[in-house]
């Protein structure tokens, strides 16, 4: 087996460690993003991250939308569920992360 050697002559030991850590972090970030994109088919770019969501249709015409907001490092910032009635009106929101606040009914419903 041949192992490719990287040139060490132009960098010192600490620079090599730094570049190895950067490469490792980019790999992890890519893995998190791929996993989020696999679980949540819809996405939107936000100024400080991304928003992913998945829609699930219910038996009676209602639908639930599961929304995950992440920062630039793909760390979850907020996760919540929106419930829509059969006409597409937002009926309630259930914020689950960072703090489970339970269901909040929308005004006028």
CA 48/CA 36 separation, integer angstroms: 16
The pLDDT value recorded for residue 19 is: 61
Q: What is the pLDDT of residue 42?
A: 94
Taking the model in full, what pTM does it have? 0.69
Q: What is the rounded CA–CA span in Å between residue 109 and residue 102?
A: 17
Q: Identify which has the larger pLDDT, 93 or 3.
A: 93
Over residues 20-56, the pLDDT tens digits come to 665 655 556 677 888 888 888 999 999 999 999 999 9
């Amino acid at each position: 087996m041949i192992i490719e050697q990287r040139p060490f002559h132009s960098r010192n030991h600490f620079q090599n460690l730094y570049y190895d850590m950067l490469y490792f972090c980019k790999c992890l970030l890519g893995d998190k993003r791929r996993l989020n994109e696999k679980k949540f088919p819809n996405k939107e770019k936000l100024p400080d991250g991304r928003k992913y969501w998945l829609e699930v249709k219910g038996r009676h015409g209602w639908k639930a939308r599961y929304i995950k907001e992440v920062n630039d490092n793909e760390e979850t910032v907020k996760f919540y569920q929106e419930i829509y009635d059969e006409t597409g009106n937002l009926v309630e929101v259930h914020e689950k992360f960072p703090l489970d606040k339970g269901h909040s009914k929308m005004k006028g419903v």
